[in-house]
């Protein structure tokens, strides 16, 4: 199938499909005319890529993971135990990012909460203390 058909079947843009090819996430055959020729199995491959991207994995890791992924019918699972350490590392990276964002959010909430609610009170406070 051509790229437009794969895009239609998966809901992914042609541009994204070309990017997936650049990242070695898809490997379509080439017709003599140079057009990409996708296999029916590429529909599932694109869905797997989308799922792994949604899990926060970078494309270089997805390229390593895809050959060993198993679709359980309820989701993907690594079929190679050797993929667990990089997955755990990504989980830890995401956990750290979440913690940093949670801290940043708490600081922003505190900043907002310190700001007087009404304009008159706010103007009086700025007049008394000066603006930074």
Q: pLDDT tens digits for 52-96? A: 999 999 999 999 999 999 999 888 898 999 999 999 999 999 999
pLDDT at 22: 96
**Per-residue pLDDT at 118:** 81
pTM: 0.76
- The answer to whether residue 132 scores a pLDDT higher than 70 is no
From residue 110, alpha-carbon distances to 12, 78, 103, 116 in Å are 40, 42, 11, 12
131 pLDDT tier (thresholds 50, 70, 90): low
Residue 122's pLDDT is what?
Answer: 81
Sign of the alpha-carbon dihedral angle for 89, 95, 101, 107: negative
**pLDDT > 70? residue 34:** yes
């Amino acid at each position: 199938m051509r790229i437009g058909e794969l895009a239609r079947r998966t809901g992914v843009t042609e541009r994204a499909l070309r990017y997936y090819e650049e990242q070695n996430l898809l490997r379509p055959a080439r017709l003599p005319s140079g057009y990409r020729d996708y296999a029916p199995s590429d529909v599932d491959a694109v869905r797997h890529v989308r799922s792994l991207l949604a899990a926060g994995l970078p494309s270089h890791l997805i390229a390593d993971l895809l050959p060993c992924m198993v679709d359980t019918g309820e989701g993907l699972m690594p079929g190679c135990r050797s993929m667990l350490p990089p997955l755990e590392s990504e989980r830890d990276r995401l956990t750290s990012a979440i913690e940093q964002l949670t801290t940043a959010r708490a600081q922003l909430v505190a900043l907002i909460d310190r700001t007087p609610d009404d304009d008159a009170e706010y103007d009086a406070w700025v007049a008394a203390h000066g603006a930074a």
